C-alpha cells in the first residue's frame, strides 16, 4: 500500500475508488511500516462512510479491529453523516483514571505487597467478575442516565471528582429505555468490577517529568506514587454494541448506504435508529464512569486501611478520567468554518488543548491530561493535546501501546507463570485473576509504548508531561 510522507510523523494514503477522503496514519516510520495489512485496509474502508470529514485517521497504536481499526478516528458531519458502532467498539468507554498521592516509593515499599493483596481482595476482577454491589433495574437505570454523580451521592467518592472526569462523569442524553433487558441483566452483577483482558489496577511511580510547568499545575512530580485504573463498561457495553449492530446491519439497506465491509454497518445520525443507538451508547459510557468511580473509592479505602491515614491526608485526588471508545458531538473547523461533527474515537484518547470549552476550569490554561497506559512491565504517560492535533486528528492521540500479537499467540509463546516470574525478577509485583490472563497480556504482545509516544510527538499531536513506571499490578 502506497504512503506519502506529508511531514514528520504524518503519512497519507491517497483517495481511490469510492473513498470520500484520504486516509492518514500518524507515527514514526518504524510504527507505520509495522501496521498489518488488514488494519490498513480498514483505515481505507472507513473513508467510505457518508459524511466523513478531512481524513480517515489511524493513530500510532493502530491495529486490526471490528470495522474500524483499534486506534481509528473519524469526524463525521452531524447533519448529513452516519453513526457506526464499529467506530466506537464493544467495550464502550473503556478508559483510564489516574489518581495522585502525596506518597513516595519509600513510604509504601514496606507495605507494597500488602497493598496489592488488599486491592485484589477489595476490587472484584476476572472474566465475569461479580460485584460487591447489588443494584436492581431501577437503580441501574438511574446510574446509566446520571453517571458518576449517582454513585458519588451514594458515598462512593468526592464531589470534586466530577470536575476531573471527562464529561463531568456523565454524558447528557443517556436513555435507559433504549437499552435491552439482556444488557440490563448483564450489567447489574458487574457494576463495580475490573474485568479481564488488558484491564488493570496499577501502583506506579512518576519516573520522569518532561514539562515542569504543566506537571506542577497537574500536581505531578518526580518520585510521586500514582494509581491507574483501566477498565470499561463490561458485559453491559458489549451487549449494547451487539444489540445495535444487529439492527444496523438490517437498516443499511433501508437507507441505501453502501459500505465495503458489513462490520461498518451504519445509519444516518439523525435517524431514529441512530438516535436510539447514541442514547444507549451514552448509558454504557455512564456505566463505565460509575464503574471506575466505585473502584477508585475502594482503592482509597484500601490505602486508608493499610497505611492508617485518611484518603485526604494521603492526597488521593483524581487527576483525570478519560474515555477511549466513544462518539462525541463536537465543534471543529472544516474549511475555515465551525462545524458540528460526531467524532468516533475507537481506541483513541481525546486530547483537547488549552482554550477548548471541553476543558474544566482546572485545565483551562493547559488542556486536560491525556492518559496513555502501557501494559504490564511498561510505562504509562500523561500528555496534553496541541493545536496541531486539534487540526489533524480532531484532538485525538493514542490510547495505549496497541497489540502486535493475538491473545492466542501470546499464550502459545509464554505461560502465565513465566510472565509473572520475569516481571517480578525486574522488581514489579504482579497479581492476576488467572495465569492465562497474564500470558495473554505479556509485554511482548504489545508495541513499544515509548515508540508510540515518540510517534505522537513526532506528528505534533501531543506533548509529554510525565512518565509513570509500574511497581505493582493487579490484572483481571
Q: What is the mean pLDDT of residues 212-222?
A: 98
Distance CA 149, CA 160 (A): 10
pLDDT at residue 281 in the model: 98
Residue 341, strand partner residues:
77, 330
Is 389 within 8 Å of 433 (Cβ atoms)? Answer: no
pLDDT grade for 420, boundaries at 50, 70 and 90: confident
Q: What is the pLDDT of residues 361-399, one digit of tens each?
A: 999 999 999 999 998 889 999 999 999 999 999 999 999
pLDDT at residue 415 in the model: 86
Domains along the chain with CATH numbers: 4-404+446-475 (3.90.1860.10)
pLDDT at 87 over 90: yes
pLDDT at residue 197 in the model: 81
Q: Is the whole model's pTM more than 0.85, yes or no?
A: yes
Q: What is the mean pLDDT of residues 19-32?
A: 94
- Catalytic site includes residue 399: yes
pLDDT grade for 276, boundaries at 50, 70 and 90: very high
Is 132 within 8 Å of 343 (Cβ atoms)? Answer: no
pLDDT at residue 129 in the model: 67
User: What are phi and psi for residue 266, nearest 5 degrees?
Assistant: -155, 165
Share of the chain above pLDDT 70, in %: 99
pLDDT at 128 over 70: no
Q: How far, CA to CA in Å, does 222 sit from each of 18, 121, 158?
A: 51, 30, 26
pLDDT at residue 1 in the model: 60
How many alpha carbons lie under 13 Å from residue 365 in its C-beta half-sphere?
A: 7
Of the listed ranges 75-84, 92-101, 253-262, the one predicted with least confidence: 253-262
Mean pLDDT of the chain: 94
Q: What is the mean pLDDT of residues 250-265?
A: 92
Chain-centroid distance of CA 71 in Å reads: 10
pLDDT at 83 over 90: yes
pLDDT at 445 over 80: no
Candidates 238, 324, 399, 468; catalytic one:
399
pLDDT at residue 447 in the model: 79
Distance CA 358, CA 88 (A): 20
Q: What is the pLDDT of residues 41-56, one digit of tens each?
A: 999 999 999 999 999 9
Q: What is the pLDDT of residues 282-327, one digit of tens each?
A: 999 999 999 999 999 999 999 999 999 999 999 999 999 999 999 9
Q: What is the pLDDT of residues 136-157, one digit of tens each?
A: 999 999 999 999 999 999 999 9
Q: What is the mean pLDDT of residues 15-44?
A: 93
pLDDT at residue 436 in the model: 81
Strand segments, DSSP code E, in 360-456 are: 370-372, 380-385, 396-398, 429-432
Q: How far, CA to CA in Å, does 369 sit from each of 254, 385, 453?
A: 42, 8, 14
Of the listed ranges 44-53, 235-244, 249-258, 332-341, the one predicted with least confidence: 249-258
pLDDT at residue 410 in the model: 84
Of the listed ranges 282-291, 405-414, 454-463, the one predicted with least confidence: 405-414
Q: What is the mean pLDDT of residues 441-454?
A: 86
pLDDT at 176 over 70: yes
Q: How far, CA to CA in Å, does 442 sit from each of 183, 235, 410, 437?
A: 31, 23, 7, 9
Name the more confident of 236 and 250. Answer: 236
Amino acid at each position: 500500500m502506497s504512503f506519502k510522507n506529508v511531514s514528520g510523523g504524518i503519512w497519507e494514503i491517497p483517495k481511490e475508488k469510492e473513498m470520500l477522503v484520504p486516509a492518514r496514519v500518524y507515527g514514526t516510520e518504524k510504527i507505520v511500516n509495522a501496521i498489518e495489512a488488514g488494519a490498513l485496509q480498514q483505515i481505507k474502508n472507513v473513508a467510505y462512510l457518508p459524511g466523513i470529514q478531512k481524513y480517515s485517521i489511524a493513530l500510532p497504536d493502530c491495529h486490526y479491529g471490528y470495522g474500524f481499526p483499534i486506534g481509528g478516528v473519524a469526524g463525521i458531519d452531524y447533519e448529513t453523516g452516519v453513526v457506526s458502532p464499529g467506530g466506537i467498539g464493544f467495550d464502550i468507554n473503556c478508559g483510564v483514571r489516574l489518581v495522585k498521592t502525596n506518597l513516595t516509593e519509600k513510604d509504601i515499599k514496606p507495605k507494597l505487597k500488602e497493598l496489592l493483596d488488599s486491592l485484589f481482595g477489595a476490587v472484584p476482577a476476572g472474566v465475569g467478575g461479580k460485584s460487591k454491589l447489588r443494584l436492581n433495574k431501577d437503580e441501574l437505570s438511574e446510574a446509566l442516565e446520571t453517571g458518576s454523580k449517582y454513585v458519588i451521592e451514594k458515598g462512593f467518592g468526592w464531589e470534586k471528582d466530577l470536575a476531573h472526569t471527562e464529561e463531568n462523569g456523565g454524558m447528557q442524553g443517556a436513555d435507559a429505555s433504549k437499552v435491552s433487558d439482556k444488557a440490563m441483566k448483564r450489567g447489574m452483577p458487574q457494576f463495580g468490577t475490573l474485568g479481564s483482558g488488558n484491564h488493570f489496577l496499577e501502583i506506579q511511580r512518576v519516573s520522569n517529568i518532561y514539562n515542569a510547568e504543566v506537571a506542577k499545575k497537574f500536581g505531578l512530580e518526580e518520585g510521586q506514587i500514582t494509581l491507574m485504573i483501566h477498565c470499561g463498561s463490561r458485559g453491559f457495553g458489549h451487549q449494547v454494541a451487539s444489540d445495535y449492530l444487529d439492527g444496523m446491519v438490517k437498516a443499511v439497506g433501508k437507507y441505501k448506504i453502501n459500505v465495503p465491509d458489513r462490520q461498518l454497518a451504519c445509519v444516518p445520525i439523525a435517524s431514529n435508529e441512530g438516535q436510539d443507538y447514541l442514547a444507549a451508547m451514552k448509558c454504557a459510557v455512564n456505566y463505565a464512569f460509575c464503574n471506575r468511580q466505585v473502584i477508585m473509592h475502594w482503592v482509597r479505602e484500601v490505602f486508608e486501611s493499610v497505611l492508617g491515614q485518611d484518603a485526604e491526608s494521603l492526597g488521593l485526588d483524581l487527576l483525570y478520567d478519560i474515555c477511549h471508545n466513544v462518539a462525541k458531538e463536537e465543534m471543529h473547523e472544516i474549511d475555515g468554518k465551525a462545524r458540528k461533527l460526531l467524532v468516533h474515537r475507537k481506541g483513541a484518547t481525546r486530547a483537547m488543548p488549552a482554550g477548548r470549552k471541553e476543558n474544566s476550569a482546572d485545565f483551562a490554561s493547559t488542556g486536560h491530561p491525556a492518559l496513555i497506559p502501557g501494559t504490564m512491565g511498561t510505562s504509562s504517560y500523561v500528555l496534553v493535546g496541541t493545536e496541531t492535533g486539534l487540526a489533524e486528528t480532531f484532538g485525538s492521540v493514542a490510547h495505549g501501546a496497541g497489540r502486535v500479537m493475538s491473545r492466542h499467540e501470546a499464550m502459545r509463546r509464554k505461560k502465565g507463570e513465566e510472565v509473572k516470574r520475569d516481571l517480578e525478577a525486574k522488581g514489579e509485583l504482579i497479581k492476576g485473576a488467572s495465569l492465562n490472563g497474564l500470558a495473554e497480556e505479556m509485554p511482548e504482545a504489545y508495541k513499544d509504548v515509548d515508540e508510540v509516544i515518540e510517534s505522537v510527538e513526532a506528528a505534533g499531536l501531543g506533548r509529554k508531561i510525565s512518565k509513570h513506571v509500574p511497581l505493582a499490578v493487579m490484572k483481571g
